[in-house]
Structure formats: C-alpha cells, structure tokens
Amino acid sequence: MAADEEYMDAHQNARQDPRPDAGHGTLLQIGLTGGIGCGKSTVADLFAAHGASIIDTDLIAHAMTVAGGPAMAAIGAEFGPAYVDADGALARAAMRALVFSDAGAKRRLEAILHPLIRAAADAEAAAARGPYLIFVVPLLIESGNWRGRVDRVLAIDCHEAVQIARVMARSGLEEAQVHAIMAAQVTRQQRLAAADDVITNDDGIAALAPQVAVLHALYLAISARMAGIPRERL
C-alpha cells in the first residue's frame, strides 16, 4: 500500500471498535501499532505464521473504498464525482486534501465508513480461530480510546532515519512528504511510552523473527491464564 493510502486508511479507521462484546471476551487481544514504514504488516505476517488471528483495520478500510466497495455509493452521493476516480474507487488524494482542511467533511466521511468498518471487523473477530487476536491499528495511540479496548499494546519501532528511507524507497515520496506524514502521527517517544511490548525493526526480517517468537510464547502463556477467567477479574 502506498504511503498516502496507508495514511488515509489509518485516519478512516482510527476510532473504530472492532472487538465483539468489547471488554468481555476471553481471547487475549493485542493492539499492534507503529509509525509509517516501521514494518507493521511484516510483523503481523510473522505472528500469523505462528497461528495468531490478525485483523488489519487498514485493509478493512481500504476494501471499503475500492471500486465497487461497500462505501463508494454513499461517498459518491455525499461528496460528488470529484471524490470518485475513473475506476469507481475513492479519489484518495482529493479526499485527503478535503478532510485535512474541513473537519465537517471528515466527520461526514467517518459517518459513512465507521459503521461499515466496525461490522467487517466484528465479523472477522467473531470468526477468529487463533489462540489470540492481533488488531493492526496504525493510529492506535492517536485515537485516544483503543488502549482500553485491547489487553496489551505492541509497538513496532525503528529509528526515524530508517523509517524515512523505507517509505521513500517504497512509495517514491520526497523526504519532506514523509516528514509531514510522520508529524501528523504521535512521536516515537509517545508511542513507546504507551506500549506494553516493543519489537525493534531496524535490521530486517531475520532480526524480527526471534522477537516475534518470544512475544508469541508470552501471549500464549497469558492466553492460557485468561482461559475461563472473566475479563473484569483479570
């Protein structure tokens, strides 16, 4: 996903509560977050290989606004053809510029998207069969209320120079554009302060796998302790 698409989708889903019966389930629920270019999807894939159930709110948000997506008819009716591209998908650059400059437009877009994202995430969570759930939420810290919806926050961290280089190589953005996206997110220090667990991603996938394995073992142990225990007693 291009950097601008990642950022747009993150803002579309930032306030969603995808947990069915939030606060009452017995599965351990992890909120995985990190700045743009930190490697959230790569880490989520490694957890999935261990059997964890992954619910990626960015992917859900993006699916809502592709050509023929469930949100597109309402978006076209609400905002007009200038915000629908030639293929029938969301015109992301135009919509991003609009919601950054018009808080009312942002609320109107959220009113369309949030119920759809919530329903899709609920369905994924209800169907999950892994030993624990991982919700991938890029703006978990920024949303202000996700911390109370998950049992633990896992931050994917890397040095900012590495982060910038990755995004520039992946998306072809100028350095100033990457800095602008990063400036709209919480700082690295704020994200780390909010995390229960941290995975460092400065050195590639070979260095990630052992860190994921350690946390997978921890999450299995916590899940075992949680089995049969009402969440309010944990």
Q: What is the pLDDT of residues 88-107, one digit of tens each?
A: 999 998 998 898 788 899 88
Q: Which domain holds residue 126?
A: 3-18+27-224
Is 200 within a domain?
yes
Q: Does 145 score more than 90 pLDDT? A: no
Is 230 within a domain?
no
Is 141 within a domain?
yes
Is 171 within a domain?
yes
Q: Tell me how crowded residue 126 is: count the other CB atoms within 10 A of its CB.
A: 11
Plot region of 35 (φ>0 → left; ψ -120 to 50 → alpha; else → beta): beta
Position with higher pLDDT, 47 vs 121:
47
Q: Tell me how crowded residue 213 is: count the other CB atoms within 10 A of its CB.
A: 13
* Count of all residues that appear for the chain in the document: 234
State the SS3 of 51-89: CCEEEEHHHHHHHHCCCCCCCHHHHHHHHCHHHECCCCC
Q: Does 150 score more than 50 pLDDT? A: yes
In total, how many domains does the chain have?
Answer: 1
Residue 17 CA to residue 140 CA, distance in Å, equals 11
Is 140 within a domain?
yes
- Taking CB atoms within 8 Å and a gap of at least 24, the contacts of 66-72 are 66/90, 70/116, 71/112, 71/113, 71/116
Total-model pTM: 0.79
Crossing angle for the helix pair 40-49 and 205-226, to the nearest 10 degrees: 60
Q: What's residue 62's pLDDT?
A: 93
Q: What is the pLDDT of residues 116-130, one digit of tens each?
A: 887 887 789 889 999
Is 232 within a domain?
no
Q: What's residue 100's pLDDT?
A: 75
CATH number, residue 104: 3.40.50.300
Q: Does 80 score more than 50 pLDDT? A: yes
Q: What's residue 138's pLDDT?
A: 86
Position with higher pLDDT, 234 vs 43:
43
Structure tokens at 191: 């994200």
Structure tokens at 207: 């260095």
When pLDDT is cut at 50, 70 and 90, the band that residue 19 belongs to is: very low
| DSSP H helical ranges for the chain | 3-13, 40-49, 57-64, 72-79, 92-101, 103-127, 140-143, 160-171, 175-183, 188-194, 205-226
Q: What is the mean pLDDT of the chain?
A: 85
Is 42 within a domain?
yes
**Is residue 162 helix, strand or coil?**
helix
- Taking CB atoms within 8 Å and a gap of at least 24, the contacts of 95-102 are 95/8, 96/4, 96/7, 96/8, 99/11
Is 112 within a domain?
yes
Q: What is the pLDDT of residues 173-214, one digit of tens each?
A: 888 888 888 887 889 999 999 999 999 999 988 999 999 999
